[in-house]
Structure 1
Amino acid sequence: MTLNKIAYSAFIAFMASLFTMVSVNALSSGERDEAADDELDAITLDELAEHDGAESCWKAIHGRVYDVTDYIPDHPTDEEIMLEWCGREATEGWDNKRPGVPHSPRADGMLEEYLVGRLVDEEGEPFESEAATEPSDTVSQDTDTDEARLSPVDDERLHRALLGLPLDGRYRGVFSDGGEMQVNVQFDLRDGRLSNVSYRHLAYRGVDYLALEEGDELYPVMVQHQQITERLEGEPVTRVFALYEPERMVDDIDGYSGATLRGNKVISAIRDALNRGVYSWP
């Protein structure tokens, strides 16, 4: 046997051994992960919801719960983006850092440092998020789709982006002041018109307006905010500027003035959403 044949045989044997080691390690790692999940503390959705602020921020991602409180000051984006997912099942946000773009493998590795438990349902069984079990509403990455094959001449989405026009899709935006999130809006845009306008968060000086009931002192202000969402439905997105004179958009309920409505904060949240870009595609 020549020297070259001996070297080649040794190389093949080495690669076969290496492949076997990698395969065994991958299988054993999977077994360790499953075993580790069983050993983690079980955390229900109700328990998760108790940690919904900057003082204690827990998130559930792909069935595991993470205490990311200490990381909030180091997160590269605005604090409100992190706080939006505190106390919640956050797989959707993690898998869509931008529409169709998940967090990086490096971020996945960093996340494990903050692992505190596993998410379970009321029966103590592993909780499966909708984001993990239902088809994604983000843009398909399959390059064989008709939409992906559109030429620059025909791609209307590209045209609108290049012209600085808002794209069709779902948007989310916030208004914060003094480190406190006051308004968090969500809406859909289709051909420049608003639909499905709603508040994910609406608060001021410790008052959660979305939790108010009829008869509460500030309930009329909450009703005024609801009127905003109702009267923006189907309107061009430019209609939001009417909120600088909120009396044009809402009724004066029980003597509450337009100033109490603080319509400019709602405008700021909507414009923040447009500046952030599409949250998810239709």
Structure 2
Amino acid sequence: MNKIAYSAFIAFVASLLTLVSVNALSESEREDRDDAGLESITLAELAEHDSAESCWKAIHGRVYDITDYVPDHPTEEEVLLEWCGRESTEGWDNKRPGVPHSPRAEAMLERYLIGRLVDDTGEPLEPGPGEPTGAMPERQAEEATSPAQDERLARALLGLPLDGHYRGVFIDRGSIQVNITFDLRDGHIESLAYRYLAYRGVDYLALEEGDELYPVMLQHRQIAERLEGAPITRIFALYEPASLVDDIDGYSGATLRGAKVISAIRDALNRGVYAWP
């Protein structure tokens, strides 16, 4: 009986290994076949699909139309839309810093495959894992291979934010309240601006002089003006807004809600560089 059971077990394992091997081969063949027949899509064409109505993303050289999936994504829609219309390998490989999306997510992603990313001459564009478009030119990378030679690498190893363009959001109960954009140059803030600023249905960016809450809009403008050229650590002054902005027409620092602006800026830093200078 034991001999029969052992033989049956060996036969089962052999069958299982055969199925796994066949499946692996068929997956490889399917990928090769799909890539050969995929439509070529340039960065310019990709950039035209940057909204919830048409959201395309390029990941590891392939282009995906995830428009139908946007409403079903587990995070806030705005977070996903930040990656529409552009090369998104960095975000895909870093769902959280250093943590890529799961194999299950990869399988789901393949349902939305529509093309391959190419340059203007039709040559494939395929960044390495976590490497964003606009990375250091190959010649420069060869010349700067250590922290002593490569300032970007040195800053990363020290845990310092890299120079570049950043975007971040503060979201509460599924609604964006602050969406901010800024540049970092040698750790200093430049060109800070609001892409979205709202609270309880009020769009502060649309307010005009004479509106009741217009003074609050002026306070937020002061934040952008007074952080210009300041080191990134200056954002912590917003925990005490009166140290950074004026009390315009009797509006208090509490009305300013500076902590939400800090959260949006820190969200941008946590996401990493949106675009390289």
Q: Deviations over 1:82-104 (max 9, x none)?
A: 2546xxxx312xx1342898999
Cα deviation for residue 227 of structure 1 reads 1.0
Q: Deviations over 1:97-135 (max 9, x none)?
A: 42898999867633359xxxxxxxxxxxxxxxxxxxxxx
Aligned amino acid, residue 150 of structure 1: A
| Corresponding residue number in structure 1 for 2:111 | 110
| Corresponding residue number in structure 2 for 1:232 | 227
RMSD of the alignment, in Å? 3.7
| Corresponding residue number in structure 2 for 1:189 | 184
Query: Judging changes above 3 Å, is the alpha-carbon distance between structure 1 residues 141 and 167 closer, same or farther for their aligned structure 2 residues?
Result: closer
Alignment of 1:243-254 (within 5 A): 243-254=238-249
Q: Are residue 146 (structure 1) and residue 140 (structure 2) matched?
A: yes
Q: Deviations over 1:124-173 (max 9, x none)?
A: xxxxxxxxxxxxx9433652x22443121311111111111111111111
Q: Are residue 241 (structure 1) and residue 236 (structure 2) matched?
A: yes
Alignment of 1:263-282 (within 5 A): 263-282=258-277
Q: Does the CA-based 8 Å contact 2:55-2:81 persist in structure 1?
A: no
Cα deviation for residue 67 of structure 1 reads 3.6
- Give, in whole Å, the separation in 2 of the partners of 1:109 and 1:100: 13
Alignment of 1:165-244 (within 5 A): 165-244=160-239
- Give, in whole Å, the separation in 1 of the partners of 2:157 and 2:260: 28
Aligned amino acid, residue 250 of structure 1: V
Calculate percent identity across the aligned residue pairs. 55
Q: Are residue 98 (structure 1) and residue 90 (structure 2) matched?
A: yes
TM-score, structure 2 as length reference: 0.62
Cα deviation for residue 221 of structure 1 reads 0.8
- Give, in whole Å, the separation in 1 of the partners of 2:150 and 2:140: 11
**Number of equivalences:** 206
Query: Judging changes above 3 Å, is the alpha-carbon distance between structure 1 residues 179 and 68 closer, same or farther for their aligned structure 2 residues?
Result: same
User: What SS class does the counterpart of residue 271 from structure 1 fall into?
Assistant: helix
- Give, in whole Å, the separation in 1 of the partners of 2:236 and 2:169: 17
Q: Does the CA-based 8 Å contact 2:161-2:187 persist in structure 1?
A: yes
